[in-house]
Chain A
Amino acid sequence: MSKVVRQIGFDEGAYVARDKEDVVVGNEIIRHRLSARIIHWAVGITFFGSLVTGLPVWTPVFGWMANLVGGLSVCRVVHAYVGLLFAAASLAMAVEWWGDMKMTKEERGWVGPKLLEYLRDAANHDRIGKYNGGQKVYFYTSKLSALGLLVSGVILWFPTSFPQWVRVVAVILHDVTFILFAVSLVFHIYLASVAEPGTLNAMTRGTVSKAWARIHHPKWYRELMGLEKKGS
């Protein structure tokens, strides 16, 4: 901080968030440092690039999207390269977030009824750390889907290099993983924006308010505030 010339309206939170996270700055907490946010948006942008060029190939209902990039034959080429970038960004994301995503036995319950309990606002959130079970489930779902999309996508890219049954399996796998990803992504976007005001900020400037942290991630909040020992 000492090197920075103090300005009027200096945004200390955003400044600290360039290279640090999980620290308290004034009334804010840094949730995602800059590198994490860049990786997240790289995944987001390449996914939507793949979506716009992939949906018109998936079904003619979305054929109009092909016009945005110059037609279906452009989609066929661009989709493959943007897809590769998406896979690369997803790999970076997996590496960046891997340490935070270890699931406890209790959190495995989020695959089932706990998730519905959460959506009904009936979940006891007191023991929730930086990420809740649902977020971790989404992490693994999206990374597994990205892997499935990559493997099947490469096969579909070079159809003549693989036996017919492999191509048939690849078509199915590409569909199943896409649908899985798309459905969970809808909830990811909803829960991270409209459903919980103040959340989107964590991925834009990198910060959340203390009040937000206390409501949605109480254990993480208590640890950062020194009210509870980490890992207890």
Chain B
Amino acid sequence: MSVTSTLEIRRSSASVWGSGSSLRSLPAVSKLVDTSTCIGCKACEVACQEWNDLPAVATFNDGDYQTLKTLDAAFWNLIRFDEREVDGGIKWLMRKDQCMHCADPGCLEACPAPGALVQYENGIVDVNPAQCIGCGYCQTGCPFDVPRFSAKTGKMSKCTLCVDRVSIGLEPACIKSCPTGCLHFGTKDDMLELGRRRVAQLKASGYANAALYDPAGVGGTGVVTVLAFGDHPEWYGALPASPSVPWGVALWKKLLRPLGFLAIVGAVIGAFGHHLYHGNKGHVDPGPVDTDEPKA
């Protein structure tokens, strides 16, 4: 997060009233990832590390092509490799795992620190390290398990969709590096259009279940993905079929918090009211009982 001043904020975490600052609107931007043309070269991984100046993360060779098992605080773009048996043949599937920049971000919903997570007017979801308290609630709220805690900085971090580049009219670093044209960047509308055309091509080529992954459960994402096997998103590095913000986060923020607030304030008012009405507490007189001083 380095360009707050140049992009207007649509939504900001932990704000009670008026969470956005914008009067003007910008078109939502999006990446398009065509998994069917990804060759697993990992140029996007390198470009991401280079542009964002992220330190190298130690890798472990466990006989897999995947760079890391999972995303890291210093590794925001991971190509996940999966092998699936389809019609007697092996399909080698790759998926670009990164922040999906949801239109309804669960991370932002769960975040307790005002302004630590922001959604810019163009749809990019970003962490503001100055406000982040490193509590990790964003990871609890994320349906894609993306934000990572950095022990070095004590803050959370994730893909910024290269907001610093996008805000001055450049495409994200990963897009620039892709040699096969499987990555595209533009307005969300343009990317949806391009994605639908690609899905139609795939269907014509025999991939009957090809689909565009733009899950409605999170209001759509800022990374739309073309899947040749659209009926099996879970084949692509455990991509959730119908992601949504965890029910507990909504229950907590939308129901428990206001109800709890009212219950506590209500208890205080009730106690005051009780004293105004009853005065000091008394009890029913049990009648003449022997409660006097002990008889010698």
Q: Do A and B come from one complex?
A: yes
A residues with a Cβ closer than 8 A to B are 57-61, 63, 72-73, 75-76, 119-126, 156, 159-160, 164-165, 167-169, 171-172, 175-176, 178-179, 182-183, 186-187, 189-191, 194-197, 214-216, 218, 221-222, 225-227
Q: Which of B182-190, B222-230, B248-256 contacts A (4 or more CB under 8 A)?
A: B248-256
Q: With A121-B281, A126-B289 known to touch, is A190 a contact of B271 (CB < 8 Å)?
A: yes
Give the CA-CA distance A159 to B263 in the complex, in Å.
Answer: 28
Kindly state the separation between the CA atoms of A72 and B112 in the bound complex, as whole angstroms. 9
B interface residues, tally (CB under 8 Å): 47
**Binary A-proximity of B264-296 (CB < 8 A = 1, otherwise 0):** 100110110011001011111010011101100
Which residue of A160, A186, A218 is within 8 Å of B286 (Cβ)? A218
28 cross-chain CB contacts under 8 A: A57-B112, A59-B14, A63-B14, A73-B133, A73-B134, A119-B274, A159-B139, A160-B136, A168-B140, A168-B247, A168-B249, A171-B140, A172-B248, A172-B256, A175-B252, A175-B260, A179-B256, A179-B259, A182-B263, A182-B264, A183-B263, A189-B271, A195-B274, A195-B278, A214-B291, A225-B293, A227-B290, A227-B291
List of A residues within 8 angstroms of B247 by Cβ: 168
Are B16 and A61 touching (Cβ within 8 A)? yes
Instruction: Give bound CA distance, A195 to B270, whole Å.
Output: 12
Across the interface, do A125 and B16 meet the contact criterion of CB distance under 8 Å? no
Q: How far is the CA of A60 from the CA of B19 in the complex (A)?
A: 12
Q: Could you say which residues of chain B place their CB within 8 Å of the CB of A215?
A: 282-283
Bound complex: CA A156 to CA B278 (Å): 42
Do the beta carbons of A124 and B134 come within 8 Å of each other?
A: no
Whether the Cβ atoms of A126 and B257 lie closer than 8 Å is no
A175 lies within 8 A of B267 (CB) = no
Select from chain B the residue with minimum beta-carbon distance to A71: B133
Expressed in whole angstroms, the Cα–Cα distance for A58 and B259 within the complex equals 13
Q: Is B207 an interface residue (CB 8 A)?
A: no
Shortest beta-carbon contacts, A-B, top 8 = A168-B248, A159-B136, A126-B286, A125-B283, A190-B271, A186-B267, A179-B260, A76-B133
In the complex, what residue of chain A is closest to B286 when comparing beta carbons?
Answer: A126
Residue B113 is within 8 A (CB to CB) of chain A in the complex: yes
Take A59-B261, A60-B14, A196-B281 as given contacts and tell me if A124 and B294 are in contact as well, using a CB distance cutoff of 8 Å. no
Taking the closest CB of chain B, its distance from the CB of A191, in whole angstroms, is: 7
Contact A197 B257, CB 8 Å, known A167-B140, A168-B249? no
Q: Which residues of A contact B289 (CB under 8 A)?
A: 126, 218
